[in-house]
Amino acid sequence: MWAAWAQTPPAAAPADTQGLPPVVHLSIKGSGRLLPLAVLDISREGGDAELEQRAKMVSTFLGDDLRNCGRFEVLRDSLQVDSTGFGPVLERWGAAGARALLRGAMRQREGRTELFATLYRLPDQRVLIAKGYPVDQGQALEAAHRLSNDIVYALTGQQGIAFTQIAFVSKRRGDKEVYVMGYDGYDPRPVTNDRTINYSPDWSPDGRQLVYSSMRNSGWQLFAADLVAGVKTPIRTPSSSNTAPTWSPDGRRVLFAMSGEVSTDLYTVTVPGWQIQRLTDHPEVDSEPAWSPDGRQIAFTSDRTGSPQVYLMNADGSDVRRLTWEPDAYEGSPTWSPDGKRLAFVRRGFDGFDVVVVELEGGTPVRMTSGGSSENPCWSPDGLQLAFSSNRTGNYEIYAMNWDGSNLRRLTYGGENEMPAWSPFKAGTR
């Protein structure tokens, strides 16, 4: 939180999975902005038990991906195609208001297992996807991610988030280390093993590096961890108290808060080159900076008018103006939506912090969470999701939800998990 400070050992369980929704009546027309997508049970060529198990795994993972991407109302159809053929199934769902239908068949081909998936646009029954996805041992999750991303692209023309990742800080092994996991909470793995306190990870625009603040060499020092090469490089600054780092949208600089003898102000440092530029100069604390997606503005937290509030300024430090005005409130941890139209931040109430979202062009701040204390919000790269940490169940864990507060789900289990940072779209995937 405010100065970037905040919080066992058992391995985290996968994210909550509930499979696909139950069979729905054909009278359902879909809800609002969500595109109604009918999904048939995956059929199998043959009664092989292993084939059936892989079909169930893919179905569960795919259902989670489609439900959690924030784009579809998933309509489940467990009816099998009868002797009249597949055409009537498409006609029924088209008449019911579904905009697309997905069918899949698990089969063996040349000694390998694959899911052959077909996506139809409705009501014209145009085939948008007809493709095989490998589902050999250990590939069920990857196959589901690839298919769900293909569905998102085919129906919306936008990238899917199934291969994105979330960096976070966890105490599951005793110390506060930086971890990375899938967007759905699967496969958490450590990035650091410093046996000290690490905070505030943030992704480089290319998704290759994480910048974070660490106590590994005494004092708060910034590091850049190359996730591909496995190399961690110290970022040189003239202070031993550097916190809340964040990459510039062009990947050339890191913006951070640096404490001197008199105050804590905001600075940028080039990476590499280590050229320092001061952006704020105020006797009170300025911290928690966040770049706008176009790199022209910076949001940050400051207590220059008393309690911490969210401020905006130009990227060169000029034109500082206050954004939040809730009387006597503590408001901070701002983060921009990828389209630059919204800002998420936290506001302290009677029982802790809540995540609040405001439209930057004249909107009213809307509270998105309740129960416990919800902190450190971050946006998914498509702008449809928010991740945050919350102690609503006792320990701090990472949660995700649609940006409007719906579809809340828990991603981590045990070990005190906080400070999530959502990656950009993974290179090479749609």
Query: Domain boundaries in the chain?
Result: 35-156, 165-422
Q: Which long-range contacts (CB under 8 A, 24 or more apart) does 147-153 make?
A: 147/62, 147/104, 147/115, 147/117, 148/62, 148/65, 148/66, 148/69, 149/429, 149/430, 150/119, 150/430, 151/37, 151/66, 151/100, 151/102, 151/119, 152/69, 152/71, 153/430
Half-sphere exposure of 2 (CA within 13 A, CB side): 13
Q: In angstroms, rounded to a whole number, what is the distance separating the alpha carbons of residues 227 and 204?
A: 11
Q: For position 190, what pLDDT does the model report? A: 96
Cβ of 231: how many Cβ atoms within 10 Å? 10
Angle (deg, nearest 10), helices 49-68 and 140-156: 40
Q: The tokens of 293 are what?
A: 């997606």
Q: The tokens of 150 are what?
A: 């293909």
Q: In angstroms, rounded to a whole number, what is the distance separating the alpha carbons of residues 102 and 41?
A: 9
Half-sphere exposure of 129 (CA within 13 A, CB side): 23
* 3-state per-residue secondary structure call for 19-82: CCCCECCCCCCCCCCCEEEEEECCEECCCCHHHHHHHHHHHHHHHHHHHHCCCEEEEEECCCCC
Does residue 398 come out as left (phi exceeding 0), alpha (psi in the -120 to 50 range) or beta?
beta
Element (H, E) at 227: none
Chain Cα centroid distance, residue 64: 14
Q: For position 349, what pLDDT does the model report? A: 81
Q: Could you tell me the strand order of the sheet in which 297-302 lies?
A: 286-291, 297-302, 309-314, 321-322
Give the single-character DSSP code of 208. Answer: S
Q: For position 81, what pLDDT does the model report? A: 53
Cβ of 340: how many Cβ atoms within 10 Å? 14
Q: What is the pLDDT along the chain (430 residues), one digit of tens a residue?
A: 443 322 222 333 344 333 333 333 233 333 448 999 999 999 888 767 888 888 999 999 999 999 999 999 999 876 655 445 678 899 999 999 999 999 999 998 888 899 999 999 999 999 999 999 999 888 999 999 999 999 999 999 999 999 999 999 999 999 999 999 999 999 999 999 999 999 999 999 999 999 999 999 889 999 999 999 999 999 999 999 999 999 999 999 999 999 987 899 999 999 999 999 999 999 999 999 999 999 999 999 999 988 999 999 999 999 999 999 888 889 999 999 999 999 999 999 878 999 999 999 988 899 999 999 999 999 999 999 999 999 999 999 999 999 999 999 999 998 899 999 999 997 544 3
Q: For position 50, what pLDDT does the model report? A: 83
Residue 264, SS3?
A: strand
Contact 399, 413 (CB under 8 A): no
pTM of this structure: 0.90
Q: In angstroms, rounded to a whole number, what is the distance separating the alpha carbons of residues 222 and 210?
A: 10
Architecture field, domain 35-156: 3-Layer(aba) Sandwich (3.40)
CA distances from 33 to 70, 71, 159, 207 (A): 10, 8, 18, 30
Q: The tokens of 7 are what?
A: 């919080």
Chain Cα centroid distance, residue 396: 17
Q: In angstroms, rounded to a whole number, what is the distance separating the alpha carbons of residues 311 and 315?
A: 12
Q: What is the CATH class of 165-422?
A: mainly beta
Q: For position 79, what pLDDT does the model report? A: 62
What amino acid is encoded at 203 in this protein? W
* Gap between the terminal Cα atoms of the chain: 34
Give the single-character DSSP code of 90. Answer: H
Contact 183, 162 (CB under 8 A): yes
Does residue 244 come out as left (phi exceeding 0), alpha (psi in the -120 to 50 range) or beta?
left
Q: For position 133, what pLDDT does the model report? A: 96
Element (H, E) at 100: strand 100-109
